[in-house]
Amino acid sequence: MSLLGSRLLLLFAIAPAAAVAQQYSILVYGDSLSAAYGMQPEQGWVALLEERLASRADHFKVINASVSGETTDGGLRRLPETLERVKPDLVILELGGNDGLRGFPLSVIRDNLRAMVHAAKEAGAEVLLVGMRIPPNYGTRYAEGFHQLYQEVADQEKVALVPFFLEQVALDPELIQNDQIHPTAAAQPLMLETLWPHLAPLLGQKLPAN
């Protein structure tokens, strides 16, 4: 075989490995809001995100490890194995809502979120923390403290924050399912639009300008 032929074979052998190395993995780690509760999986905001990224580039991979009913305690227990298995470049952390609705101590929620953010960063991933609110009938002090703890965690761990994931949805009864808790399929694009301005800067040059 000629020297030129040998070099061409070497280039073809290297190309697949290089393509794999350029893949960018996004782990969505949340509860029912990210698990497409009450609808088909393809209607959920995570599937819509995957479609948006696929339309712009072919090197993004979205892994949805969300579990309906998950708490920060359960998420913290599951996270090490999930990080080891997925090896994400970015973690979208959407947990805490179930803790708040069950009245868990704010200090516990805060510590669990910080521990998960820290674990993701230690695994080499960037983090986008997704903030939530709970109804005021839990008491103004608790409800405001719950919302504020997301900002506190983001500041302490120096990660990006979506202040309130359901900002465009929560006050519109037509966008909430009959259980008065979960967003409808029609709300999912709005949830993605709320998250997108905080996610896009983290993707940086990996996201084509178009």
Residues taking part in catalysis: 32, 179, 182
Plot region of 12 (φ>0 → left; ψ -120 to 50 → alpha; else → beta):
alpha
Amino acid at position 15, single letter: A
Which position has the token pair 């999930």?
A: 82
Nearest Cα neighbor of 97 from 169, 49, 185 is: 169
CA quadruple 108, 73, 112, 67: dihedral, nearest 10? -130
Asked if residues 150 and 161 have their Cβ atoms less than 8 Å apart, the reply is: yes
Residues 6 or more apart whose CB falls under 8 angstroms from that of 203 comprise 24, 90
Give the Cβ contact number of residue 144 at 10 Å: 14
Which position has the token pair 């509760």?
A: 37
Give the Cβ contact number of residue 198 at 10 Å: 17
Nearest Cα neighbor of 117 from 151, 166, 68, 69 is: 151
Nearest Cα neighbor of 191 from 169, 172, 163 is: 169
Rounded to whole angstroms, how far apart are CA atoms 170 and 21? 40
